[in-house]
């Protein structure tokens, strides 16, 4: 499946698109249709055994809708907000380095002891 030249230019060769991103992108591009899971798997080149877990996680986040046996894109505003958040988080990780859970916990503990 071809992509736009803008998408081609903006792709980071180091980063691979996740299966969830591929599904959301495909369904958003084809928002006037609903597809069976196998059709989405074939169109996005995702293994048939992986497509249902991906679709179920996306449905839990309300990014896709499901009416047996079809799947369609969810609320476009919610999809846009989620993709923007993901893109922003990725940019910040690249610019500032990934967050460390230990650093967060240490900072929280220091904050608790300084207020006592």
How confident is the model over 28-79, as pLDDT tens digits? Answer: 999 999 999 999 999 999 999 999 999 999 999 999 999 999 999 999 999 8
Burial class (CB in 10 A: 0-12, 13-18, 19+), 27: buried
Q: Distance between CA 6 and CA 21 in Å, rounded? A: 17
Confidence at residue 26, expressed as pLDDT on a 0 to 100 scale: 96
In whole numbers, what is the pLDDT of the chain averaged over residues? 86
Tell me the domains of the chain and their CATH numbers.
Answer: 5-114 (1.10.10.10)
In angstroms, rounded to a whole number, what is the distance separating the alpha carbons of residues 30 and 75? 13
Q: Calculate helix-pair angle for 48-60, 19-29, nearest 10 degrees.
A: 70
Indicate the pLDDT class of residue 102, thresholds 50, 70 and 90.
confident
Cβ atoms 64, 78 nearer than 8 A: no
């Amino acid at each position: 499946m071809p992509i736009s030249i803008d998408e081609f230019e903006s792709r980071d060769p180091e980063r691979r698109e996740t299966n969830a991103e591929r599904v959301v992108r495909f369904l958003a591009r084809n928002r006037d249709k609903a597809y069976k899971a196998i059709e989405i798997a074939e169109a996005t080149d995702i293994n048939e055994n992986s497509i249902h877990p991906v679709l179920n996680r996306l449905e839990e986040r309300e990014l896709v809708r499901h009416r047996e046996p079809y799947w369609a894109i969810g609320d476009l505003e919610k999809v846009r907000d989620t993709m923007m958040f993901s893109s922003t988080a990725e940019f910040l990780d690249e610019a500032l380095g990934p967050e460390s859970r230990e650093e967060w916990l240490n900072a929280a503990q220091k904050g608790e002891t300084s207020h006592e």
